[in-house]
A and B are shown apart, each in its own frame.
Chain A
């Protein structure tokens, strides 16, 4: 026996609509540009400062270890992913490109660790920016 589906309004999947308030648009954007700032503008001072410390320190340690800052490229897949990760650092990445921070070639194990630090700093900053958005829309306190 074929199973029939009833299409009552209650059976429809509910999609939660989130109003796009200025803070909901601004928090992730500024959080991406300046690590931790998405939390700071929402008065989450401790969280914002800790996130800023973690991301900036990780990026700085990566540079100190002569890690490579990836440029936009269409070459090796890992290089493309490295660039995407680096881009997550926002202003740190932009400053890094302007002032040509970081090593050019990964020739030592330390430079390899440093390169991973810089990529992961960017990825962690994206997580922080998403968290700032969740706070802005009220999904998180």
Chain B
């Protein structure tokens, strides 16, 4: 039996953000410098958004 990879919601979302940031950075900008900056920006926005959404859900729950 092959064991399935178990990721927490956070690590799955962080990994997801990493992969889509790479593709967005490359496809949405023209020069290598801009690609790097836009990829980092997308990753940062995803991570910050995840923390904010997490805290909002925590506050709604409590």
- Chain A nearest CB from B27 CB (Å) reads 4
A-B CB contacts (within 8 Å), total count: 65
CB contacts (< 8 Å) of B6 on chain A: these are 65, 110
Complex Cα gap A141–B34 (Å): 13
From known contacts A120-B16, A141-B31, infer whether A109 and B23 are also in contact, taking CB-CB under 8 Å.
no
Q: Does A111 contact B (CB under 8 A)?
A: yes
- Per-residue A-contact encoding for B14-31, CB less than 8 Å = 1, 0 else: 011001101110110011
The reply to whether A65 and B7 contact each other, CB–CB distance below 8 Å, is yes
Scan residues 1-57 of chain B and give those whose CB is less than 8 A from a CB of chain A. 4-7, 9, 12, 15-16, 19-20, 22-24, 26-27, 30-32, 35
Given known contacts A117-B16, A141-B30, A141-B31, A110 and B23 CB-to-CB distance under 8 angstroms? no
Taking Cβ atoms with an 8 Å cutoff, the residues of A that contact B are 46-47, 50-51, 53-55, 57-58, 61, 64-66, 103, 108-111, 113-114, 116-117, 120-121, 124, 127-128, 130-131, 140-141
* With A113-B12, A117-B16, A140-B30 as contacts: A65 and B23 at CB distance below 8 Å: no
Partner of B27, one of A46, A111, A117, A130: A130
